Amino acid sequence: MYDSYEFIMEELEQLGIIPVDYAVLRSLFSDYRSPRNKIANLEQAGKIIRLKRGLYVVSPKISKQLLSAELIANHIYGPSYVSMESALRYYGLIPEQVYTIRSMTINRSRNFENSIGHFEYIAANDAYYSIGIKQQIAENKYTFLIATPEKALCDMIIATPQLRIQSEKALVIYLREDLRFDMSGLDNMDTDIIKECIEVGKKKEVLKLLLKLI
């Protein structure tokens, strides 16, 4: 058995930035006396990063590629798609750096913490969840699910607790001052997606104000 450092690094580098489960790693090192110990040693040495129990990603130092928080979010808990501030920031519609990656899911709400960041998942019913999801292709290397800009904004409104907006003026203040939203982004929004959200989502009156504003 060729048990060299270079061989191990080659195996890991080939995995790239796609999260992999424990079974995949174990199969890579099945020829070793103790694959479990090998995986534990690689994690301790910072060669692989544990995202949650049984799910890992290769360190950027080894893969020589930047990690994608959006891709990781899809893999940690699903089905899910990246949304709210995380999606709005991805599209350049809000200026602030986002430290919690927020997603919508049809499963129960969950939170996960790892060395990459904090990942929050908010539950939605099936009918609402399925609206306005796109498969984003990044660098022609990988894809992840993310809300369209209009769905991300609807999710933001619906999922924010104690959000009381009763007029178009109040909505504009919320967008400009609270979110620091790029108002020019409203010009390109698909009103059909917002109409679908109104039909099956919560906070219908606020979403109607958003539709009127666009």
Residue 75 sits in the same domain as residue 164: yes
Residue 28 sits in the same domain as residue 84: no
Share of the chain above pLDDT 70, in %: 98
On the question of pLDDT at 32 being above 80, the answer is no
Range of the domain at 12: 5-63
Residue 83 sits in the same domain as residue 128: yes
Residue 42 sits in the same domain as residue 135: no
Residue 81 sits in the same domain as residue 159: yes
- Tens digits of per-residue pLDDT, 43-75? 999 999 999 999 999 999 999 999 999 999 999
Residue 122 sits in the same domain as residue 192: yes
Q: How far is CA 206 from CA 8, 103, 210, in A?
A: 54, 21, 6
Residue 207 sits in the same domain as residue 166: yes
Residue 155 sits in the same domain as residue 209: yes
- Tens digits of per-residue pLDDT, 69-121? 999 999 999 999 999 999 999 999 999 888 899 999 999 999 999 999 999 99
Residue 92 sits in the same domain as residue 135: yes
Q: How far apart are CA 98 and CA 88, in angstroms?
A: 10
Residue 123 sits in the same domain as residue 58: no
Where residue 1 falls among pLDDT bands split at 50, 70, 90?
A: very low
Residue 126 sits in the same domain as residue 50: no
Q: What is the 3-state secondary structure (H, E, C) of the chain?
A: CCCCHHHHHHHHHHHCCCCEEHHHHHHHCCCCCCHHHHHHHHHHCCCEEEEECCEEEECHHHHCCCCCHHHHHHHHCCCEEECHHHHHHHCCCCCCCCCEEEEEECCCCEEEECCCCEEEEEECCHHHHCCCEEEEEECCCEEEEEECHHHHHHHHHHHCCCCCCCCHHHHHHHHHHHCCCCHHHHHHCCHHHHHHHHHHCCCHHHHHHHHHHC
Residue 82 sits in the same domain as residue 10: no
